[in-house]
């Protein structure tokens, strides 16, 4: 075949995409069945890079003498690009995983159906119980698109402006609708406050609060720090926070006794002083 034959690229790209889907489906099946192949790999062979967020979470999970209690806000499908999934499965964490998007939630539930200590909840977290609008991509349900779902519409507008949406749409051979109303749609979702969440599920400790809410992370942190249950560790995505919000967020965490370190797109805050001055 000629090296200049354009079909060579498309065949290669197609095979790569096919293999990727096969791998993702296999991984999901092994994990949802709590297969020893999945948990055994992460128990005996997995070795995260020192200094990475995965290394921190790995050490945190292994060194805990008691079962870890986690609350994850913005769980999506529970496995793709998820920093804690492998540790939940490997070390049998317990806790609550929240995802407001209705069409994603069944997949999250299937993933953890056999994990008795994990409860999946089809809701967002807010200051008051009720409902609110969640903004999301209107023409794709792929992981890159659902991962952009947010309460802050500007985050989605920025994703279009930066070319991120177009790059991913092109990879899927999807045309972006010319109608703006079809590009971004709003879905009404359930909202539960941290106080209601903790009381309803009788949570009296949080070892890890994991947050990925596309720009709403600081608000989630403020909500949980207002409750009587202070998380031992908080991991959140800071990418979509404004510079001012990130500064204020780190100031708040520091004032509450947390040690803070950034890991790429994420920040980890570990409670080192439960009674700061």
Asked whether residue 142 is assigned to any structural domain, the reply reads: no
Count of domains for the chain: 2
The pLDDT tens digits of the residues spanning 255-274 come to 999 999 999 999 999 999 88
The domain containing residue 84 runs over which residues?
36-126+184-271
Strand partners, 132: 189
Assess whether 79 and 44 both reside in one domain. Answer: yes
Assess whether 80 and 6 both reside in one domain. Answer: no
Assess whether 58 and 100 both reside in one domain. Answer: yes
**pTM (predicted TM-score):** 0.90
Q: Find out whether 14 and 61 touch, Cβ atoms under 8 Å.
A: no
Helix or strand run (H / E) with residue 144: helix 143-146
What residue has token string 């805050």? 269
Assess whether 190 and 248 both reside in one domain. Answer: yes
Assess whether 26 and 56 both reside in one domain. Answer: no
Pull the structure tokens for residue 99: 């995802």
Asked whether residue 171 is assigned to any structural domain, the reply reads: no
Q: Is 5 helix (H, G, I), strand (E, B) or coil?
A: coil
Pull the structure tokens for residue 105: 């939630």
Q: What CATH number does the domain containing 107 carry? A: 3.40.50.150
- Tell me the backbone φ, ψ of residue 64, rounded to 5 degrees: -70, 130
Q: What is the mean pLDDT of the chain?
A: 93
Largest CA distance in the chain: 72
Assess whether 109 and 190 both reside in one domain. Answer: yes
Asked whether residue 149 is assigned to any structural domain, the reply reads: no
Assess whether 117 and 10 both reside in one domain. Answer: no
Closest CA to 79 of 24, 146, 140: 24
Asked whether residue 156 is assigned to any structural domain, the reply reads: no
What pLDDT score does 274 carry?
81
Distances (CA, A) of 165 to 128, 136, 230: 32, 12, 37
Helix or strand run (H / E) with residue 59: helix 53-63
Asked whether residue 145 is assigned to any structural domain, the reply reads: no
DSSP 177: P
The pLDDT tens digits of the residues spanning 7-48 come to 554 455 556 678 888 999 999 999 999 999 999 999 999 999
Assess whether 27 and 40 both reside in one domain. Answer: no
Q: First-to-last CA distance in the chain? A: 72
Assess whether 47 and 117 both reside in one domain. Answer: yes
Assess whether 20 and 45 both reside in one domain. Answer: no
Asked whether residue 22 is assigned to any structural domain, the reply reads: yes
Assess whether 223 and 105 both reside in one domain. Answer: yes
Vertex 244 angle, CA 130 and 123, to 5°:
20
DSSP 49: P
d(CA 37, CA 174): 35
What pLDDT score does 177 carry?
95
Asked whether residue 144 is assigned to any structural domain, the reply reads: no
What pLDDT score does 9 carry?
43
What pLDDT score does 2 carry?
42
DSSP 132: E
**Length of the chain in residues, anyone?**
277
d(CA 90, CA 87): 5
Asked whether residue 80 is assigned to any structural domain, the reply reads: yes
Assess whether 188 and 118 both reside in one domain. Answer: yes
Pull the structure tokens for residue 239: 């990418």
Question: pLDDT confidence of 276, banded at 50, 70, 90?
Answer: confident
Helix or strand run (H / E) with residue 106: helix 105-111
């Amino acid at each position: 075949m000629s090296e200049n034959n354009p079909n060579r690229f498309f065949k290669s790209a197609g095979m790569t995409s096919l293999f990727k889907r096969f791998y993702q489906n296999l991984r999901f099946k092994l994990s949802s069945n709590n297969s020893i192949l999945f948990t055994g790999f992460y128990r005996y062979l997995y070795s995260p890079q020192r200094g990475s967020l995965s290394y921190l979470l790995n050490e945190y999970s292994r060194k805990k003498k008691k079962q870890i209690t986690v609350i994850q806000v913005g769980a999506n499908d529970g496995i793709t690009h998820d920093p804690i999934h492998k540790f939940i499965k490997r070390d049998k964490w317990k806790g609550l995983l929240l995802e407001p998007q209705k069409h994603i939630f069944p997949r999250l539930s299937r993933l953890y159906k056999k994990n008795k200590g994990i409860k999946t909840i089809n809701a967002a977290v807010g200051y008051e119980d009720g409902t609110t609008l969640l903004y999301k991509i209107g023409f794709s349900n792929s992981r890159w698109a659902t991962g952009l779902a947010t309460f802050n519409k500007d985050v989605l507008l920025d994703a279009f402006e930066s070319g991120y949406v177009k790059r991913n749409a092109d990879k899927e051979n999807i045309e972006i609708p010319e109608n703006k109303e079809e590009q971004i749609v709003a879905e009404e979702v359930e909202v539960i406050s941290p106080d209601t969440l903790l009381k309803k599920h009788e949570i009296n400790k949080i070892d890890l609060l994991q947050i990925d809410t596309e720009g709403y992370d600081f608000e989630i942190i403020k909500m949980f720090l207002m409750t009587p249950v202070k998380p031992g560790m908080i991991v959140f995505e800071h990418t979509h926070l404004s510079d001012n919000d990130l500064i204020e967020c780190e100031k708040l965490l520091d004032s509450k006794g947390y040690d803070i370190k950034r890991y790429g797109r994420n920040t980890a805050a570990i409670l080192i002083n439960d009674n700061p001055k």
